């Protein structure tokens, strides 16, 4: 559905006496140079997107991508317009899960159309914040694109910070003295980091091009604002790369810790077996029923056998204790 639509003139929203769905009347509200329309849609059906496509003469291939969603972040040029795909991210801490959405943007000389899928990135907030900065909004559709990308990249930073906290928890758990099983959570976090990387990395080149004014249709005056977005995006990318490296190191440390624990368990088991085997050996020897055998007729033979068992067990226990096996 169409969430909101408006005409902007010199950075100020122009009041129009029509509904948000009356696209042709809204488009007719552009009467002065520099005016532009901002239309926001949320998971539109084919009929709704077709009305928008006709009103703004959008390329059918880009319209198809915007409806079907599930695109990778990209920047494409069509005759008279740009098509930009952005991934939205938010973090569900209790499940260690990064959820994703998508925003597709059509950008023309006098219009910007946003198509949102999923729950991430409230574009209405971006619109309201930008309307409070008329000097920026006066730059045209490129200013609206800046506000959207800035909001999305800010959410990337929130997700990266949440992942940092979880990776810190993993490191503390792996190197603690307690016996923990962290392999499954490490794998889950690496998978979620890969999800973030798929959203962040393809966006770096388009943001760089916006920041140096290499994209036709985006005024060079807006490049200063995109530089800030590009800088934040690079920072998120570097954070994600470092977290991935830390998780790989934590996984290797976890495997090494498991191996050490298994060795310690085997040593304890071996020590326990030795404490049982030696007395059993003595008892086995003195339990053999041979007539001609030393100590069988000796009155102190039984106490001597018990004492020998106790002495051997005590000696082994002291030895294993000093060796760290017990």
**Token pair 């597709």: residue:** 104
Same domain, 192 and 303: no
| End-of-domain residue from the set 231, 257, 283 | 257
Structure tokens at 8: 């902007």
Least Cα distance to 149 among 121, 116, 169 occurs for 121
Same domain, 195 and 95: yes
Q: How far is CA 207 from CA 75, 146, 150, 221, 231, in A?
A: 10, 10, 11, 15, 9
pTM for the full model?
0.78
Neighbouring CB atoms inside 10 A of 272's CB total 13
| End-of-domain residue from the set 257, 285, 315 | 257
**CATH code at position 285:** 1.20.58.340
Same domain, 14 and 125: yes
| End-of-domain residue from the set 203, 222, 257 | 257
3-state SS class at 28: helix
pLDDT digits (tens, 9 = 90+) for 106-134: 999 889 999 999 877 788 888 888 889 99
- Interatomic CA distance for residues 211 and 222, integer angstroms: 8
| Structural domain range at position 37 | 2-257
- Interatomic CA distance for residues 274 and 280, integer angstroms: 10
**CATH code at position 98:** 3.30.460.20
Task: Identify the weakest region by mean pLDDT among 34-43, 49-58, 125-134, 313-322.
Answer: 313-322
What total of structural domains would you count in the chain?
A: 2
pLDDT digits (tens, 9 = 90+) for 137-171: 888 899 999 999 999 999 999 999 999 999 998 88
């Amino acid at each position: 559905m169409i969430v909101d639509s408006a005409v902007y003139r010199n950075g100020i929203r122009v009041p129009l006496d029509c509904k948000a769905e009356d696209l042709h009347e809204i488009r007719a509200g552009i009467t002065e140079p520099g005016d532009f329309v901002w239309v926001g849609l949320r998971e539109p059906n084919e009929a709704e997107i077709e009305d928008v496509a006709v009103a703004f003469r959008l390329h059918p291939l880009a319209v198809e991508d915007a409806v079907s969603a599930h695109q990778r972040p990209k920047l494409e040029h069509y005759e008279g317009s740009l098509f930009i795909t952005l991934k939205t991210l938010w973090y569900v801490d209790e499940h260690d899960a990064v959820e994703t959405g998508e925003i597709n943007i059509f950008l023309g000389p006098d219009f910007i159309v946003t198509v949102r899928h999923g729950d991430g990135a409230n574009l209405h907030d971006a619109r309201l914040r930008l309307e409070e900065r008329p000097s920026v909004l006066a730059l045209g559709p490129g200013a609206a694109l800046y506000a959207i990308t800035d909001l999305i990249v800010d959410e990337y930073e929130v997700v990266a910070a949440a992942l940092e906290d979880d990776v810190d928890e993993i490191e503390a758990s792996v190197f603690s003295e307690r016996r923990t099983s962290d392999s499954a959570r490490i794998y889950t976090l690496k998978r979620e980091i890969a999800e973030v990387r798929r959203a962040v990395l393809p966006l770096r080149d388009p943001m760089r091009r916006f920041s140096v004014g290499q994209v036709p249709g985006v005024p060079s005056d807006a490049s200063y604002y995109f530089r800030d977005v590009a800088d934040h995006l690079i920072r998120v990318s570097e954070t994600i790369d470092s977290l991935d490296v830390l998780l790989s190191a934590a996984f290797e440390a976890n495997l090494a810790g498991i191996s050490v624990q298994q060795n310690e368990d085997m040593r304890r088991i071996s020590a326990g077996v030795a404490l049982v085997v030696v007395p059993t050996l003595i008892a086995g020897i003195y339990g053999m029923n041979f007539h001609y055998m030393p100590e069988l007729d000796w009155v102190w033979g039984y106490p001597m056998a018990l004492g020998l068992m106790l002495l051997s067990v005590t000696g082994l226990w002291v030895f294993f204790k000093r060796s760290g096996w017990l």
